[in-house]
Chain A
């Protein structure tokens, strides 16, 4: 079973534990500026929104890479950048409609979420379940359930 990261801004408090966990996993240091998951704060809306790669099947980044540095991990479904192959041309960063693959000037390569090989640290670090790692075929089920709940007699009582 493949799993996907499922992000719920309504539950996010903006604490950035996910960004620290991501950078520690990838770099062995706490460095939110290098995190591959980002939490955006919309101050005047009172909203915090985590965002990262959705791991497209027909990934624009993978299709566009001229040196085949991006490949799919067949176990996790993640699109993974090979640092050995990447030449830092940045074409993938232009191709990605979501902006979730980015150039890193410190390394001269691009970096993106690779689902930590199937056990993403961000989800483990999130204290509010705003980031969960769940069955890829069921990422809509919590919203479905909320609608299903509306059919309960108790929901119509008042």
Chain B
């Protein structure tokens, strides 16, 4: 049956936890996780609500395949209105807590209101209660995690928790689960802390009932696993190098932005690549990478588990802090790029250390790295001074400055408070708004829209701002999945972007990981959902649901006040040509792609879904 058909509604103002049945009519149209929780949010909240007010809601949601043997079936998402962007926020995480929610009997948890005092939600199957969290407030995510495990004397407790930056109002705070997995972007952790909710601790032992059609399910699941194992990316590239397999690849095709996107191409990319993580270091002969690790149910196992060189400046004087001395979740491509290439820092151990800090205190490394990169450019331009930074010499490439400014951002002190507001507000404050490399207030990930055209259109139109995991056209434009398109072509890209965005919306609603789509098409995914769930989940129905979800999110953003004027890119990417490398001379040709995109979406030239589109999708 795959859905537990139960929702837990937590009213933080009243301090109540109330079970209610899942709206199955909506489940048939929006599947689960991203789609279904967004439907609840749309129905229950005003799109114009202040994201950090009690009127905003936050939903933690699993998909129907979460907790099943479908490969990667362990995902959960956090859906809310994001404080960094003011747009719909939906952040997806792996690890193990998604399965735990399901095994405790809950498809989703809706948080509403605001607790008068810090609390955490404790769930042990049907036992659900808000408990005081005064002792956890002011602690890092890792420390709070450890304290909860000790308090409950339960090593199997799964915990999602916010860190100190969320409490201090950093607008891009994440929610970390299982120590190093995160619902990372858009500031979902800031929303959680604004409700005085420090953590969710869950233990589930009820079991998830057999799929709707077991024989068909196990056949489709086995087929899917075989496809993943035999695919070069999911069977070999990702387990060996993780997402960091991309660093050298994207750099070599002229798609790697650097120095706050002033440049395309980073001459030291190799030093911070997946390959570099395998190289033995001088001090102890061990590589940065300890092993690869999987999230729940994942047969790809792309996760990096790494250590920092004990002689490195970042931790050599921190022998009393065991959390930095052992292995933990290591660098993924996006963090290595934003904290590294975009800031010009090529010190692998420094990047591993600050990545640990991002996990320890639950902040989004992409927005963090990009905001520091913007600050570095402003510093070099003389608009941010040593006085502003409190004496930190914030030039590109300065690893020590990177570490210092991140430690400040976590404590929320001094210049760290400015960084904590994200690049848009930082660049406005220091007088050069055009230097914020963001769309709708969300900073770019690690692919340059001048070097790779389709991804630029995806960034401009993505419902949560500049985001690669809303429509990962890199798969086609660079890696040739499912078919190779020319990264320099604008033609055909609107169709490509729409197809990727719609398919992704469905994958994010199913409980599985987007990385499966390096190998899986909808013809691999739909049969798994169809066998697991009641109702018809053919390929066509799945794609239609994906399109429905995309349009629902768009309509929420439009109602929140966004217009077609927000479907754009920073001037730099539209006007300043790439200076060197394979994509030299290119700018983003967004203007050529956007009208066609609106047209094939069935939207007006102002980006508003037409009444035919709305009725076709049953919205």
Contacts and interface: CB of A to CB of B under 8 A. Distances in A.
Contacts of B328: 43-44
Contacts of A48: 291, 293
Given A15-B297, A44-B326, A33 B291 contact: no
Interface in B285-323: 290-299, 301, 305-307, 322
Given A16-B297, A29-B209, A45 B327 contact: yes
A34 B205 contact: yes
Interface in A8-52: 13-17, 20-21, 23-24, 27-34, 43-48
Nearest to B68: A30
B412 interface: no
Contacts of A28: 210
A20 B68 contact: yes
Contacts of A125: 69
A128 interface: yes
Nearest to A40: B155
Contact of B207 (A17, A21, A23): A23
Contact of B291 (A27, A34, A46): A46
Contact of A24 (B69, B307, B322): B69
A69 B99 CA distance: 34
Interface string B458-491: 0000000000000000000000000000000000
B229 A29 contact: no
B179 interface: yes
Contact of B326 (A13, A31, A43): A43
A47 B69 contact: no
A127 B299 contact: yes
Interface string B324-338: 011110000000000
Contact of B179 (A13, A15, A32, A43): A43
Nearest to B235: A127
B301 A128 contact: yes
B451 interface: no
Given A28-B210, A31-B208, A43 B327 contact: yes
30 contacts: A13-B239, A15-B295, A15-B297, A16-B96, A16-B294, A17-B69, A20-B69, A21-B69, A27-B207, A29-B208, A29-B209, A30-B68, A30-B103, A30-B207, A31-B205, A31-B207, A32-B99, A33-B103, A34-B205, A43-B326, A43-B328, A44-B322, A44-B327, A46-B291, A46-B293, A46-B306, A46-B327, A127-B225, A127-B229, A127-B301
A34 B207 contact: yes
B204 interface: yes
Contacts of B327: 43-46
B441 interface: no
B156 interface: yes
Given A14-B294, A17-B297, A128-B301, 18 more contacts: A14-B293, A15-B298, A16-B297, A17-B71, A20-B68, A23-B207, A24-B69, A28-B210, A30-B67, A30-B69, A30-B103, A31-B103, A31-B206, A32-B99, A43-B179, A44-B326, A46-B305, A48-B293
Contacts of B306: 46
With most chain A CB atoms within 10 A of its CB, the pick from B208, B294, B296, B299 is: B294
Interface residues of B, number: 38
A20 B297 contact: yes
A32 B73 CA distance: 13
Interface string B152-168: 00001000000000000
A33 B69 contact: no
Contacts of B179: 43
A148 to B, nearest CB: 26
A13 B156 contact: no
B69 A32 contact: no
A29 B301 contact: no
B307 A46 contact: yes
Contacts of A16: 96, 99, 294, 296-297
Given A44-B326, A125-B69, A127-B229, A33 B156 contact: yes
Interface string A108-131: 000000000000000001011000
A154 B305 CA distance: 31
A57 B208 CA distance: 35
Nearest to B322: A44
Interface string B195-209: 000000000111111
Nearest to A28: B210
A128 B301 CA distance: 10
A47 to B, nearest CB: 7
B405 to A, nearest CB: 27
With most chain A CB atoms within 10 A of its CB, the pick from B103, B207, B210 is: B207
Contacts of A45: 290, 326-327
Given A31-B208, A44-B326, A15 B294 contact: yes
Nearest to B323: A44
Contacts of B206: 31
Contacts of A127: 71, 225, 229, 299, 301
